[in-house]
Chain A
Amino acid sequence: MDTSQYLDVFIDESTEHVEDLYNYLLELEKNPTETNLIEEIFRAAHTLKGMSATMGFQDVANLTHKLENVFDGIRYERIKIDATIMDVIFQAVDNLNAMIEDIAAGGDGKGDVSTIVANLEKIENGEVVTKENDAAATVEGTVETDTTTSNLDEFELSILEESRDRGFHNYEVTVQLREDCLLKGARVFMVFEVLEKLGEVIKSTPPVTDLEEENFDYSFTVLFVSQSSKEEIQKSIEKVSEIEHVTINLFSVEAYKQQLIDQEEQSSVLTFEEKKEKTEDKSDKAPKAKSKKPTSKTIRVNIERLDILMNLFEELVIDRGRLEQIASELNNNDLQETVERMTRVSGDLQNIILTMRMVPIDQVFNRFPRMIRQLARDLQKEVDIEIIGAETELDRTVIDEIGDPLVHLIRNAIDHGIETPDVRKQKGKPTQGTIKLQAYHSGNHVFIEISDDGAGINKEKVLKKALENGVITESTANNLTNQQIYELIMESGFSTADSVSDISGRGVGLDVVKNTIESLGGNITINAEENQGSIFSVQLPLTLSIMSVLLVELSDETYAIPLSSIIETAIIQKSQIMHAHNKKVIDFRGNIVPLTFLNEVFETEQTIADQDYISVVIVRKGDKMTALVVDSFIGQQEVVLKSLGNYLSNTFAISGATILGDGQVALIIDSNVLVK
């Protein structure tokens, strides 16, 4: 069957399912007994399996099949979830993700899944997944000394008990073979031979048949009864060649039973709750199912088509501007009315197109929990993540760009912000650090805040480092406000980490983050309190391509100032201009606001000199304001933001250009750099 036509759908849907899997798994890690979640995971895995098998991606199908089996086991309580199992499952989903990405990139979606499949099989069979054969073994501080073997039947238990009573020792022996071992089966046989001379093997994981068929990775565990001492057994086994190492632990039947009882208690509570839930489920199943998934009818639209639609609409906006101008020149009532109507309709159209391109920031945020989990493990820190406002919507182009800077900021927060549990304890803070991600709308902007309750920023250290690296000079160092000092860490050529770790501080610093955010028309501010934590606040425009501007005139040139940065326009008397320390300022509603003469900045001809009144546009950046002096106001207009082209990138105080109704190009003023 030719399935290529379904490939796009397959990729879209499987990416979605994998995302879902991640989310559910993270939830499940917090509430391991939530049966609804297990159901959802099972369903997602099942769908994925079906799709990938149809599409002929055998490895994906295999892996999901095993995953499905494991969750089937969990669903029917054959398998208990613990950290080890979660790790394997996460790893499995990571592999899935990688394979699907490979398919999306045009690959064949093949991956070596044998290790992970074997591990999943072990879980499925209720056996121990030994840390050693975990291919991507994560840093797990302690070697587990308590018993890991599970699922002993009555008979095996009674033998163990009996032998203990007769003065034998019960051991749990884990043998790890060298990875380059060629004849695994033979080595296993030799080990068993040795063991059988010293005592009796009660049980082995994986089962002996699997071991004989080499159906295991590089390690296996046996329960072993013997009179010999631990050391003796160890030495004997180590005589067999190609063995990496042998771990022997005493196996205590009591502890095992206790563990079993605990589990049973847990599961009985669980089943009770579950029953309760199930009865509830039945009673109001229909409404519940509805409330769980608010189904609105949607269709998938290729993002390219949306981009084309947006481009066409941009053209329309330009023509609309032209029509408006012609109508006002011709002064024909009918024409003006029609144009006004068209303006209203196209305004609505614009809103719809813009909202169509809006996606919840959740798309970016949802990959962070798993990233933070992994990072925290790698760095041996305890970190919790709190996400607020994931439903906040942003233009897709912004979403696409903002991911990497945020990743960088979060890495930074975990690596340099959150302290290790020991240090946190010393400081009297809970050992678990918290990273809070918050997104919200405000006016024409979206704010994203990343705050942590870590070490904050050490001002002295920052200053010292900035001086060393020549980012600032001695004389300027003394005049900086706290905020300015914090912002130094985003200057290029700056890195405060004492040691360069693998996670962040690889030389590409926060300056890249700052540049990316500024290129999106946003800005970033830092606030910090030593030992209390720091807040990185990112401000972004809602949309990039269409914006409202105030058109102003400077001699015979037209410039546009984004409305989002304008507080007010005013016409002031020349006599109101005051001088403060050689600078011209005005008193604006009780604030002293410096004047910036745009004709000086943009080198246009001076025309203000012989006027009694001057027109000013008050703009702000953060809480600072500046009054921009212009020749005259033209009016407000919706314009399409265009770049000046790569040849003229970074032109001072100009953020781009737009095409006006008459076909002329007007430059858009970047007022942020004019506010000092």
Chain B
Amino acid sequence: MENEMTNDKKVIVFQLKDEEYAVSVQQVGSIERMQPITRVPQTADFVKGVINLRGVVTPIIDLRARFGIEASEMSESTRIIIVYLDDMEVGLIVDAANDVIDIPEDAIEPAPEVVGTVDADYIDGVAKLDNRLLILLNLPKVLSKEEINELKTVEG
């Protein structure tokens, strides 16, 4: 009965380097194992290419590259999280997808501002749970088309 009163947010937690990120389950379609990716030329470097997801050609983004984290080898735990946003369907490569948890609404705080860092506008906020710190992603910003388009005009 408690659940009805408190507004919980169900999220999928995944790992990039040594930090934990979260996206709302509503936005996630499925979690896939790594599979061969067809490179698409003349796109931003974080766009890894496209995969055949059960007959649907789906673009794939490397989240490490997107967030400016150094690349790493693909491993057994590497996953592709398929997310839906408006009319877009995009796969995100992450180091590992750990679990699904409920975050109480009041545990979410705005992203801390640190002097001297670039404002990362793709972060919606952070949630502190016990001794874990989850970074909530703002998907529309992560998938904003502006950056791919910018790159294209330079190259094209």
Q: Which of B29-57 contact A (CB under 8 A)?
A: 36, 38-43, 47, 49-52, 55-57
Asked if A165 CB lies within 8 Å of chain B CBs, one says no
B interface residues, how many (CB within 8 angstroms): 28
Asked if A160 CB lies within 8 Å of chain B CBs, one says no
Asked if B78 CB lies within 8 Å of chain A CBs, one says no
Q: Among B39, B55, B88, point to the contact of A647 (Cβ < 8 A).
A: B88
Asked if A657 CB lies within 8 Å of chain B CBs, one says yes
A603 touches B41 (CB 8 A): yes
Kindly list chain B residues whose C-beta atoms are within 8 Å of the C-beta of A654.
40-42
A interface residues, how many (CB within 8 angstroms): 27
The complex places the Cα of A654 from the Cα of B152 at a distance, in Å, of 13
A659 touches B143 (CB 8 A): no
The complex places the Cα of A286 from the Cα of B134 at a distance, in Å, of 83
Asked if A567 CB lies within 8 Å of chain B CBs, one says no
**From B86, which residue of chain A is reached at the shortest CB distance?**
A646
A602 touches B42 (CB 8 A): yes
Residue in B40, B47, B90, B148 with the greatest tally of chain A CB atoms within 10 Å? B40
A659 touches B55 (CB 8 A): yes
Q: Among B38, B90, B148, point to the contact of A664 (Cβ < 8 A).
A: B38
Asked if A106 CB lies within 8 Å of chain B CBs, one says no
Kindly list chain A residues whose C-beta atoms are within 8 Å of the C-beta of B156.
652
Kindly list chain A residues whose C-beta atoms are within 8 Å of the C-beta of B86.
646
Q: Among A601, A603, A647, point to the contact of B143 (Cβ < 8 A).
A: A647
B57 touches A651 (CB 8 A): no
Kindly list chain B residues whose C-beta atoms are within 8 Å of the C-beta of A358.
none
Q: Among A647, A659, A665, A666, point to the contact of B90 (Cβ < 8 A).
A: A647
Binary flags per residue of A142-160, CB closer than 8 Å to B gives 1, else 0: 0000000000000000000
B50 touches A652 (CB 8 A): no
A318 touches B55 (CB 8 A): yes
B43 touches A665 (CB 8 A): no
A645 touches B58 (CB 8 A): yes
Binary flags per residue of B84-103, CB closer than 8 Å to A gives 1, else 0: 00111110000000000000
Tell me the smallest distance from the CB of B16 to a CB of chain A, in Å: 20
Tell me the smallest distance from the CB of A641 to a CB of chain B, in Å: 10
Known: A647-B143, A652-B155. A642 touches B56 (CB 8 A): yes
Binary flags per residue of B130-156, CB closer than 8 Å to A gives 1, else 0: 000000000000010100100010011
Kindly list chain B residues whose C-beta atoms are within 8 Å of the C-beta of A233.
none
Binary flags per residue of A399-427, CB closer than 8 Å to B gives 1, else 0: 00000000000000000000000000000
B52 touches A664 (CB 8 A): yes
B59 touches A647 (CB 8 A): yes
Asked if A644 CB lies within 8 Å of chain B CBs, one says yes
**Which 3 A-B residue pairs are closest in the complex by CB-CB distance?**
A602-B41, A665-B38, A652-B42
A sample of 13 more A-B contacts (CB under 8 A), given A646-B89, A648-B59, is A643-B57, A645-B50, A646-B86, A646-B87, A647-B145, A648-B43, A653-B41, A654-B42, A657-B50, A663-B52, A665-B51, A665-B52, A666-B38
Can you list 12 residue pairs at the A/B interface with Cβ under 8 Å?
A: A318-B55, A602-B42, A604-B41, A645-B50, A645-B88, A645-B90, A647-B88, A647-B148, A648-B43, A651-B152, A654-B42, A665-B57
